Structure 1
Amino acid sequence: MQQVFRLERQRRGGGSVTVEVVYGITSLSPVAGPPEALLGYTRDHWGIESLHHIRDVTLGEDRCRVRRGAAPRVLASLRNVAVYLLRGLDIGTIAAAVRTIVATPERALAALNQPVSISE
């Protein structure tokens, strides 16, 4: 352990502000892990957690009974593609996009016909 850090998060919603304080530890020295870098690592981690949350909660990955062979990995990849395509619909949340596609499946087919740009 090289450092201990304190991170304060504020969330605004419904006219109120919620403050959350979390603490972390790292093996990075203060030179290798200045505050800006630690904040970046924390944000990157939550970006990954966000995808897992969408797959688990919205797309029901945890309820999936597929457990053998390559099928779980294939289904996870398909869910990642679905999240990418749903984000491209500009509907808002992924849950709202799923509801929209369920109600109007023709939009899913239209979305698949759109050109895709891959940025590096």
Structure 2
Amino acid sequence: MTLGEDACQTRTGVAPSVLAQLNSTVLSLMDRLDVRNTARQIRYFGSFPEQAIQLVLQGSCHVY
């Protein structure tokens, strides 16, 4: 529940599937980057979203 998925109220249409895919993608990326503390890294990206965007677009970013 690192991404707060249990609190999500989206239940209809394709949105739940898209959110699940995004969740899996984020967690896979964290695993690929050998992030040891996923919750801390997500909080960091929440504070510095430009770093998250840089990681996705360029494939490079300092991971905390």
TM-score, with length taken from structure 1: 0.43
Deviation at 1:106, TM superposition (A): 2.0
Richer in helix (by share): 2
Identity %: 37
| CA RMSD between the two structures | 1.9
Q: How many residues are aligned here?
A: 59
Structure 2: unaligned runs, 5 residues or longer: none
Tell me whether 1:67 sits opposite 2:11 in the alignment.
yes
- For 1:80 and 1:68, locate their aligned partners in 2 and report how far apart those are by CA, in whole Å: 19
The aligned residue for residue 31 of structure 2 is 87
Kindly tell me: are residues 97 and 105 of structure 1, through their superposed partners in 2, closer, same or farther at Cα, counting changes over 3 Å? Answer: same
Structure 1: unaligned runs, 5 residues or longer: 1-56, 116-120
Structure 1 segment 1-120 matched on structure 2, within 5 A: 57-112=1-56, 113-114=58-59
Task: State the AA in 2 paired with 1:68.
Answer: T
- For 2:52 and 2:32, locate their aligned partners in 1 and report how far apart those are by CA, in whole Å: 11
TM-score, with length taken from structure 2: 0.72
Task: State the AA in 1 paired with 2:39.
Answer: A
Deviation at 1:87, TM superposition (A): 3.1
Which structure exhibits the higher relative contact order, with contacts defined as CA atoms closer than 8 Å and separated by 6 or more residues? Answer: 2
Deviation at 1:99, TM superposition (A): 1.2
Richer in strand (by share): 1
Larger Rg: 1
Deviations 1:12-55 (A, max 9, x none): xxxxxxxxxxxxxxxxxxxxxxxxxxxxxxxxxxxxxxxxxxxx
